[in-house]
Chain A
Amino acid sequence: KTQVEQSPQSLVVRQGENCVLQCNYSVTPDNHLRWFKQDTGKGLVSLTVLVDQKDKTSNGRYSATLDKDAKHSTLHITATLLDDTATYICVVGDRGSALGRLHFGAGTQLIVIP
């Protein structure tokens, strides 16, 4: 059973527009949540990590929220650029220790058009 669900599956936006990606999960316990960016044919690059019960982070044009009560996270991308075209993957870590496992979503494919 999939424990990390991302929506939408794919998204097309025009350059300069904002977009929001969603992540819902059922992983328990939920120690932390991380968003990765994966360019086509490349590895995963970490964008941000959220840890607190209700957390917010900001990294340039990327901002993210986490609500552990709702088991829900969002990734906001502001003023999109063509280079933002990629797959964005939500990952939930069930512990903050050597016993922990990462639970990966299937990703949201974002396409930014001129």
Chain B
Amino acid sequence: EAAVTQSPRNKVTVTGGNVTLSCRQTNSHNYMYWYRQDTGHGLRLIHYSYGAGNLQIGDVPDGYKATRTTQEDFFLLLELASPSQTSLYFCASSDRAGNSDYTFGSGTRLLVI
């Protein structure tokens, strides 16, 4: 079954710590996305990618890096984590941007203390 799998499910780190969130999709989709979800806000786009080696900046990229190593794998990197990055992070994939269907992962809850 086509899916988007995120790991870890939960993560706690200290301020200034280094965190990598992982996402793998088995949908054979070209497009992958990283979002954050905070109470009272809609999902906000951090980074996205059209394919392996490609990276596009989203709407809230500050403090985040991303890397798309293969068509399947998309990573979000927080090199100096801050408490403001405490959030629920979602990865998604689609076969093309636009009105095609999106598949979301189950999320990674990150707490920066």
Contact = CB atoms under 8 A, between A and B. Distances in A.
Given A106-B40, A106-B41, A107-B42, A44 B90 contact: yes
A51 B109 CA distance: 33
A4 B35 CA distance: 17
Interface stretch (A14-22, A59-67, A74-82, A88-96): A88-96
B45 A42 contact: no
A113 interface: no
Contact of A101 (B45, B99, B105): B45
B41 to A, nearest CB: 6
B75 interface: no
B42 A104 contact: yes
Interface SS of chain B? loop
A98 B90 contact: no
Contacts of A26: none
Interface in B24-64: 31, 35, 40-45, 50, 59
A41 interface: yes
Nearest to B59: A101
Interface of A: 2, 4, 31-32, 34, 36, 41-46, 49, 51, 89, 91, 93, 95-107
